[in-house]
Structure 1
Amino acid sequence: MRCCAICDPVITPTDPRAARPRIDWRRLDGILLLDKPQGMSSNQALQQARRLFRADKAGHTGSLDPLATGLLPICFGEATKIAGGLLGARKAYETVARLGVVTDTDDAEGQVLRERPVPALTIDQIDAALRQLTGHILQKPPVYSALKRGGEPLYAKARRGEPIEVEPRAVEVHAFDLISAADLLDGGEPLLRLHVECGSGTYVRSLVRDLGELLGCGAHVVELRRLWVDPFREPRMWTLQGLEQLRAQAGERVLDACLLPVEIGMASWPEVRVNAAQALRLGRGQGLRGPYPVRGQVAILDERGRGLGLGEVDAEGRLRPVRLFRWAAQTGAAGAQ
């Protein structure tokens, strides 16, 4: 990891990177619902999408393992200011668990730690185990995870062979349901296809690992796909390959039409509307007395419904700006004229 610009490597004329065309980055605001491919890290997918759109600023809203596919919301420009709020959103997954084998990463990319015979199981037994892992539970995150200790991800310590003890933490699992056990019950591969809906900080790999222990044989994830993330319940996802083809065929302007406006990403927050004079005050960093009926973090919109940013309503009903978009003050100034 580069610590500063001084540490950047010197690129010589013989370095293959010297032949890369320079990217003319541009200001771009919006949200891309990316269908992350298997085998690519979330950051690799983010950087590829950023280069494709030439966006000067980008961030994603919650990592997916390289094994996983599916919805990875990517925020460009001012949309990055709401990315932190989307990290804690409710999410849904479909996963395939392989019974009888435990790995060090709790998925198919890890090293096998042990194998055990899979007992004869019934649907009722599987459903009973799933119910034990539903609701407010304590979950032990995987050792190979992006959680940090001492400023370093746990996976980095695990790869060096350092002993790691991970403490259980409270998570919420809204649904953990069996979709199909046909392979297992028909005497084929011991596979379970499962549906998961969960809150922030929940690891599907850990759910599958713990399910395997409850069933007496161990288990790991062999497939994982994220279906949706609030507020994007029925997402129109774009693949990197599809976006590249679209740009080649129709140009950058059509590519930009694939982005959602930032306001759609603000749908999970309670809404507060302000007039031009109030927007001007907020844009100057000043609060509004209100009183506003909601409490906590809110989405601030102008009278036409354009998003101005995020704010906080205190116990007395006063609204203060938290993270405003760059156009908030301009919107207020233009409306006040």
Structure 2
Amino acid sequence: MFFNKKRNVHGLLLLDKPQGISSNNALQKVKTIFNAKKAGYIGTLDPLATGMLPICFGECAKFSHYLKDSNKRYHVIAKLGEKTSTSDSDGIVIKKRPILFTSYQLNLSIKELTGLIEQVPSMYSAIKYNGIPLYKYARQGLKVKRNIRKVIVYNIYAINQEKNLIEFKILCSKGTYVRTLIDDLGEKLGCGAHVVFLRRLQVASYLYTQLVTISNLYKLLNKNNIDNINFFKNIDNLLMPVDSPVSFLPKVYLSFKQSYNFKLGQKIEFFSNIKNSLVRVIEEKNKIFIGLGKINTEALLIPYRLVSRFTN
């Protein structure tokens, strides 16, 4: 878009995905603005959904699976009395029923959908069957057998109910389909339900207050002369460090010589109170994250996943 040569960009951006576009579309927009060589997102959000979409640039992708496996928090509004083909308002209404449940039945149904539960993913999901996303089969009117998934729903808070709309906050494990959860709730209540609003508020320990919007990125773009290197400095300052996805791991520091050997893939003699654990390895002199190591019981630090520093 702006330069022929793409940049090596490294770090994590917490994007506030807007409504109405796919996660991949949002990724491509951000990748273009950053003029980045390599970037990927964690945890697909439907076009209807907004909110936290972590985008890992460059070397950060090496540690992205730690976020993929983490818990998520959502804010959802469901419409009662209508079941749709996609379990959200992007689909067509396939069944209408009266809303007759009591607050006791609602609480009981929520309880039944809390804890370790089984889900059959919607045909309108990004799960692949024979290398093709399910939603592509669904758009052709085809149905394929989907495996039952076990997921954990830690909490469902019913915040508010007004007429045929009900509002929730949900904390759940990786792989949980909120649309399916709401569809299942609607069936338990005997009236049907579908998602009309969905916003992801949290992934792992990241909070929604840290989100950056695409419109904010475009504002920075318009504010700066694109030939001015300050533009890239400004947007790069929005990135979290490469080791952000593994920030829950303890840090250990190595001398310059130890770091040199560690980066060559050599085991380092290292005495620590930490045993049999992954650690973030930092080069002490420059305070640079150089990768993950594992400390074993024999007081050795073993390279586990290294960062390539030929990055600029």
Q: TM-score, normalised by structure 1?
A: 0.82
Residues in 2 aligned to 1:31 and 1:77: alpha-carbon distance in whole angstroms: 9
Residues in 2 aligned to 1:82 and 1:171: alpha-carbon distance in whole angstroms: 23
Is 2:25 the partner of 1:51?
no
Q: SS of 2:9's equivalent?
A: coil
Q: Who is 1:86 aligned against?
A: 67
Q: Who is 1:214 aligned against?
A: 188
Is 2:306 the partner of 1:324?
yes
User: Over aligned residue pairs, what C-alpha RMSD do you find?
Assistant: 2.3
Higher relative contact order, chain-length normalized (CA < 8 Å, sep 6+): 2
- Residue-by-residue CA offset, 1:167-223 (whole Å, 9 max, x unaligned): 211111111110111x13xxxxx1110001111111111111111111111111110
Contact 1:174 1:197 in 2 (8 A): yes
Q: TM-score, normalised by structure 2?
A: 0.88
Q: Who is 2:228 aligned against?
A: none
Is 2:210 the partner of 1:230?
no
Q: Which amino acid aligns with 1:88?
A: D
Q: SS of 1:65's equivalent?
A: coil
Greater displacement, 218-227 / 251-260: 251-260
Greater displacement, 284-293 / 44-53: 284-293
Q: SS of 1:254's equivalent?
A: helix
- Residue-by-residue CA offset, 1:16-50 (whole Å, 9 max, x unaligned): xxxx6654311111211111000111111111001
Which structure has more strand as a fraction of its residues?
2
Residues in 2 aligned to 1:112 and 1:129: alpha-carbon distance in whole angstroms: 23
Q: How far 1:162 sits from its partner (Å)?
A: 2.2
Residues in 2 aligned to 1:162 and 1:236: alpha-carbon distance in whole angstroms: 40
Contact 2:262 2:303 in 1 (8 A): yes
Residues in 1 aligned to 2:237 and 2:199: alpha-carbon distance in whole angstroms: 25
How many pairs are equivalent?
A: 302
Match of 1:128 among 86, 108, 115: 108
Is 2:135 the partner of 1:155?
yes
Residues in 2 aligned to 1:297 and 1:157: alpha-carbon distance in whole angstroms: 41
Change (3 A) 1:296 1:202: farther
Residues in 2 aligned to 1:139 and 1:54: alpha-carbon distance in whole angstroms: 39
Q: Who is 2:48 aligned against?
A: 67
Contact 1:35 1:71 in 2 (8 A): yes
Residues in 2 aligned to 1:176 and 1:47: alpha-carbon distance in whole angstroms: 33
Q: Who is 2:288 aligned against?
A: 306
Q: Percent identity?
A: 39
Q: How far 1:270 sits from its partner (Å)?
A: 4.3
Contact 1:100 1:117 in 2 (8 A): yes
- Residue-by-residue CA offset, 1:125-170 (whole Å, 9 max, x unaligned): 3222112111121122112111122222211222222222222111
Change (3 A) 1:145 1:270: farther
Contact 2:124 2:135 in 1 (8 A): yes
Contact 1:172 1:202 in 2 (8 A): yes
Change (3 A) 1:326 1:21: closer
Runs of 5+ unmatched residues, structure 2: 225-230
Contact 1:93 1:228 in 2 (8 A): yes
Match of 1:262 among 242, 261, 276: 242
Residues in 2 aligned to 1:270 and 1:155: alpha-carbon distance in whole angstroms: 41
Contact 2:63 2:243 in 1 (8 A): no
Q: Who is 2:177 aligned against?
A: 203
- Residue-by-residue CA offset, 1:278-326 (whole Å, 9 max, x unaligned): 3223311233465763435443333365322234456767543333111
Runs of 5+ unmatched residues, structure 1: 1-19, 185-189, 329-337
Is 2:10 the partner of 1:26?
no
Q: How far 1:234 sits from its partner (Å)?
A: 4.9
